[in-house]
Amino acid sequence: MRHRRRGERAAGRPRAQRAGTGRRAAARAARPLAGRRILVTRPRAQARALCARLRALGATVVAIPTIEIVPAPARGLDRALRRIGRYAWIVVTSANGAHAVVARARALGLDLRRARGPRWAAVGPATAAVLRAAGVRVAMVPSRYLTRALGRELPDVAGRRVLLVRAALASPALARRLAARGAHVETVAAYRTRVAPPASAAPLRRALERPLDAIVCTSASTVRGLVRLAGRARLRACTLACIGPVTAAAARAAGLRPRIVARAHTVDGLLDALVADFQRKGATDVLSRRAG
């Protein structure tokens, strides 16, 4: 009996070890960014959801906005909304623009659910979600969540009046593309982007004194704010994660090399790209240790 019990204990150890290994593997799968320190550069209000998602994946998050979103003078947007029926399309190029449209419509007592005339287009799902939450039926979201895809794919624009809701000082490329296709384009600034808020300078400097596993940028303006606040030299060794090709192009123009660029230009796509990159890096590190 004594010998059998010893044998049972000996046979039980591998099973327990396997169970422990399985639990650790499951924990790593549930929190694949555990131990990673990630800087988020989004404006504070927009960063909350992204930061929460990163923490749920196990990351240690440092949130320092490199831009601020501030309202543009309301006069132009108000005038357009009062004449909403004259447009064939209202094209909204960001969630910030959608929030501004909804806020000004409420201030004017305009029910967007009952507004007759225009169809609505949104550059991507986050922008569409803001509009739909206000009861707007979004008729078009492009196949790729980029303004150039929007300019190429927006249907039935020749000879039609199109209102383009965007940031002040935004690129004129979309308006030019729609005009080239025969649209009568009106543009209105719904908000302004303030790059490199001074209040972020000292926290960013402190954050960069410790190693970061990645810096997350969700727009070209967040890249520009980051470079202006931190300086190019401090950032060259950092892993830059960009939400899409426009943001990545801004990073390259600033002399940086983005290592991670999301294929789907959404927060979900960016998180997927981060996880995939760190999993590859972890596997490479394991193989390197075994080879050594």
- pLDDT score of 30: 77
The residue-averaged pLDDT of 17-33 equals: 63
Residue 131 pLDDT > 70: yes
pLDDT of residue 286: 33
What's the pLDDT band for 155 if we cut at 50, 70, 90? very high
Q: Per residue in 27-77, pLDDT tens?
A: 556 799 999 999 999 999 899 999 999 999 999 999 999 999 999 999 999
| DSSP codes, 108-139 | TT--GGG--S-EEEESSHHHHHHHHHTT--EE
Task: Give yes or no for a contact between 205 and 62, defined as CB atoms under 8 angstroms apart.
Answer: no
Task: Give the DSSP H or E segment for 283.
Answer: helix 267-291
Among residues 264, 17, 273, 28, the alpha carbon closest in space to that of 141 is found at: 264
Q: What's the confidence (pLDDT) of residue 18?
A: 53
Q: What's the distance, Cα to Cα, between the start and end of the chain in Å?
A: 46
Backbone angles phi, psi at 124, to 5 degrees: -165, 180
Q: Which pLDDT score, from 0 to 100, does residue 282 have?
A: 66
Distance CA 276, CA 264 (A): 13
User: How far is 74 from 274, CA to CA, in rounded Å?
Assistant: 38
Domains for the chain: give ranges and CATH numbers: 33-66+196-286 (3.40.50.10090), 69-195 (3.40.50.10090)
Closest listed residue to residue 238, CA positions, set 257, 217, 263, 254: 257
Question: So what's the pLDDT on residue 23?
Answer: 53
pLDDT band at 4 (very low <50, low <70, confident <90, very high): very low
Residue 13: pLDDT band by 50, 70, 90 thresholds?
Answer: low
Share of the chain above pLDDT 70, in %: 86
pLDDT at position 169 is 87
In the chain, how many H helices and how many E strands?
12, 11
